[in-house]
Amino acid sequence: MRSINGVVRQIQLPQVRDPRGDLTFVEGNIHVPFNIARVYYLYNVPVDAERGGHAHRDLEQVVFALSGSFRMKIDDGTNKTEYWLRDPRKGLYINRLIWREMDSFSQGVVCMVLASHPYDEADYYRNYDEFIVAVNEGIK
């Protein structure tokens, strides 16, 4: 997978294998490049749902498919790419000012997100044109 300007990249977590089952763990500032201020997860997602459709002013996140799979379409205002998330050990790090859209959810998918800040609606760009202006002006 290629990264976008170094601000979207895959993060691989440790895996402790055991006949009783595998264990993966994550520690802030060690496995992800920020203090983890919030964890949230998506579940009961219809397979034809479309989520995301926004960017963040300051928020950094790492997104995981803990179970099942989905697609993340990523746009930094210049380049677009997409990632398929399907491995609970592999997260997608997404820095600020990245537009993301999620779709193609598998049945029973569970998506977990680690975030650098508490929830704040004021941190969102939910309008694509405003996002592009922010990218071009280098503002938050």
Residues that bind ligand T46 (CB under 6 A): 38, 40, 42, 51-52, 56, 61, 63, 100, 102, 113, 119
Q: Given the complex with ligand T46, which of 51 and 90 has the nearer CB atom?
A: 51
| Cβ–Cβ < 8 Å for 68, 108 | yes
Q: Given the complex with ligand T46, which of 22 and 82 has the nearer CB atom?
A: 82
CA distance 105 to 67: 11
Q: Given the complex with ligand T46, which of 23 and 28 has the nearer CB atom?
A: 28
For the four alpha carbons of 123, 127, 131 and 39, in that order, the dihedral sign comes to positive
Residue in the structure block whose two tokens are 């402790």: 16
H or E segment to which residue 132 belongs:
helix 128-137
Extract the tokens encoding 63. Answer: 């997104």
Residue in the structure block whose two tokens are 């760009």: 125
Smallest gap from Cβ 30 to ligand T46, in A, equals 22
Smallest gap from Cβ 126 to ligand T46, in A, equals 8
Catalytic-role residue among 31, 54, 56, 117? 54
Q: Given the complex with ligand T46, which of 25 and 43 has the nearer CB atom?
A: 43
Smallest gap from Cβ 107 to ligand T46, in A, equals 18
Smallest gap from Cβ 21 to ligand T46, in A, equals 26
| Cβ–Cβ < 8 Å for 85, 138 | no
In DSSP terms, which residues pair with 51 in a beta bridge?
102
Active site residue 31: no
Catalytic residues: 54
